[in-house]
Structure 1
């Protein structure tokens, strides 16, 4: 155990290997193509390959293949073993020496019947996918959830195709606007119970530290703004993105939040994402 712990800590002690691992954790449980990792981190393929090889040998990253593409995911069992070893060995299992690794369940004072859960959806432009998620959650369960959305680099205006899809589905779009994620940071910002990224690019970026340690997950959805073709084909891409997000929001609102502990809830929201079926139970 000491040898494997030392290997993992030494592997993560390299700043760029740590950056690869952190990105994969942000994208978890997604299996990310090597090309996407290289592009997101600005690494040469050969350099990335050596980092991934070291992380795999240390038991921190898993690899699979989809056609001709190699894909990678964080090995959370390896990471849990590392954290357990640090807590049980180095800290001798004493919570007064090391912060406990377990989190309280999302129950008790955090689940008061007269209180709404606050949810934030993040994408890059905040012009379509995150706006869809905000509107759908407000429509499906606005009595139980307070929905917000933001972008890491928001557009000045919402996408007209997205607005049309929302109107076609009966949503009021008058109050919607693109917002920067910075609006939800700082001492005066509301504390969130859930934070979801809905585009790969936003998940690839360094995330802010959210007060209160909200439950977070990545629900990557293809970008309809990037769709090409005729106007009808582009409109179809937005309808498909809306439908995919609607299915995820329905699954989310069906979760028995008052009965799930933190670990079970995290697994449940991970399973709603695109690669959720691949996440270990």
Structure 2
């Protein structure tokens, strides 16, 4: 029990809790300390102290890539804390309303799964993702996209690329994520962030506890240089997302329970990260 008490103490401070929550939103990505400090607005010394205590408590793992230290949430440690709270503090009593039977068993029904892709501007990366999954497997998914700070219009390079790939862009528009957080909005089965900026932002829990994933891609809108160089950045973002989405669409949904499906979604992100490092 001493380790669990240390974990609870580590999460009791708002600063340390915010670090852990951000790493969970970016999981399984290994995030440089500088990115964490910038996202949370923390001085390097304060962040270092928070990471040190979280690591000692077994909630955060540290790796080295060259001269850079990177951090990721430790799911094993977090899982042990959850098991302790359920078994010891709650005496095995779980909230029966927290997750329906449908979401704890294999997702084998024949309805379409609702999928939402989120980036900051909703002008390129999340729009790419919406079009790719919609056109790749539209018989199985109802696909949406939104932005945390949506642009007033779609990026023209993004629209040009989508049309060149044969996607229908006539009904696309930039939308704020709040459109999907109302009572009458579709209940999501999957929510993916496709940029680090969106994953860094606090977001209220989604109804129904959808499976989540972070497939961060560099922002092609920020690409500089000639038009040809900018088009290449958009092409690379499109290709990276297409690889992830094809792997996601190929998952055996009818044989996986929610826990296994979440693990497979995380594996897709982890495999993609290894390929780029």
By the TM > 0.5 criterion, same fold? yes
* Pair 1:12-2:11 in alignment: yes
1: distance between equivalents of 2:74 and 2:105?
Answer: 32
The farther-off stretch of 15-24 and 203-212 is 203-212
Contact 1:107–1:258 at 8 Å: present in 2 too?
A: no
User: 2:91 maps to which residue?
Assistant: 92
- Please list the CA deviations of residues 99-137 of structure 1 after superposition, one character each: whole Å capped at 9, or x if unmatched: 699874648796432x21110000000000000000001
Change (3 A) 1:87 1:180: same
Is the Cα–Cα contact under 8 Å of residues 271 and 277 in structure 1 kept in the other structure?
Answer: no
Residue 219 in structure 1 maps to residue 218 in structure 2: no
Structure 2 residue matching 1:89: 3-state secondary structure: helix
SS class of match (1:212): coil
Distance between the aligned counterparts of 1:258 and 1:266, measured in 2? 14
Q: Does 1:169 align with 2:168?
A: no
Matching residue of 1:265: 261
Q: Where in structure 2 are the equivalents of 1:224-243 lying within 5 Å?
A: 224-243=220-239
- TM superposition outliers: structure 1 runs of 4+ over 3 Å: 98-111, 274-278
2:150 alignment partner in structure 1: 154
SS of 1:146's equivalent? Answer: strand
User: Residue 77 of structure 1: SS of its match in structure 2?
Assistant: helix
Asked if 1:133 corresponds to 2:132, the answer is no
Q: How many residues align?
A: 274
What TM-score do the two structures reach when normalised by structure 1?
A: 0.92
Classify the secondary structure of the residue corresponding to 1:190. Answer: coil
Distance 1:65 1:35, change over 3 A: same
SS at structure 1 position matched to 2:255: coil
Residues 277 and 246 of structure 1: is their aligned pair in 2 closer, same or farther, counting only changes over 3 Å? closer
Name the residue aligned to 1:202. Answer: 198
Q: How far is the alpha carbon of 1:62 from its aligned partner?
A: 0.3
Q: Report if aligned partners of 1:106, 1:262 keep a CA contact under 8 Å in 2.
A: yes
Closer, same or farther in 2 for the Cα pair 1:250/1:227, shift >3 Å? same
Change in CA separation of 1:213 and 1:78 when aligned onto 2, cut-off 3 Å? same
Which position in structure 2 is the counterpart of 1:48?
47
Aligned pair in 2 of structure 1 residues 110, 252: CA closer, same or farther (>3 Å)?
closer
SS of residue in 2 equivalent to 1:220 = coil
Q: 1:71 to 1:238 in 2, by over 3 A?
A: same
Instruction: Give secondary structure in 2 for the equivalent of 1:92.
Output: coil
Matching of residue 112 in structure 1 with residue 109 in structure 2: yes
Instruction: Check if 1:142 corresponds to 2:141.
Output: no
Does the Cα contact within 8 Å between 2:19 and 2:36 map onto a contact in 1?
yes
Q: How large is the RMSD of aligned CA atoms in angstroms?
A: 1.9
